């Protein structure tokens, strides 16, 4: 078992205030992207979901050095509608690596709005509701 884990985040956990409220700290991070996926709004939710899409690419953050207990806290935050899977992300000057990422469970695809999720709109209208 590895001593630490890396996690690609693309939605609410990109906000340090939310990450802190979930695991009690903000891990080191770098901007990253995930080719072959797309991020959409969900019906009845202010947070996004990511699904495979050959033409897409999702921007987010690569958090590094997470512990297994922290991943467990994030699993609980994400809930059963998401699956944590290994994904191949890109960062920096063409660097690639695998990291954990949360994908919408296929049984939840009916919730997709097919409208891209906007981080800025979330920050303006919803972020304060997520801060404990």
| 61, 69, 126, 127, 131 from 100: Cα distances, Å | 12, 14, 25, 24, 24
Task: Tell me the sheet residues that pair with 50.
Answer: 39
- 78, 85, 93, 126: which one is catalytic? 78
- Active site (annotated) includes residue 70: no
Calpha distance 92→44 (Å, rounded) = 35
Calpha distance 113→7 (Å, rounded) = 25
Task: Give me the active site residues, please.
Answer: 78
């Amino acid at each position: 078992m590895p001593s630490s884990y890396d996690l690609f985040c693309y939605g609410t956990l990109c906000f340090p205030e939310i990450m802190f409220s979930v695991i009690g700290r903000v891990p080191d991070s770098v901007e990253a992207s995930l080719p072959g996926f797309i991020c959409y709004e969900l019906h009845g939710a202010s947070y996004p979901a990511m699904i495979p899409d050959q033409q897409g690419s999702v921007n987010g953050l690569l958090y590094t050095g997470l512990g297994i207990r922290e991943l467990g806290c994030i699993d609980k935050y994400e809930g059963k509608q998401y699956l944590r899977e290994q994904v191949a992300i890109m960062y920096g000057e063409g660097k690639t690596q695998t990291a954990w990422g949360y994908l919408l469970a296929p049984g939840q695809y009916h919730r997709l709005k097919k409208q891209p999720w906007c981080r800025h709109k979330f920050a303006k209208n919803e972020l304060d509701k997520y801060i404990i």
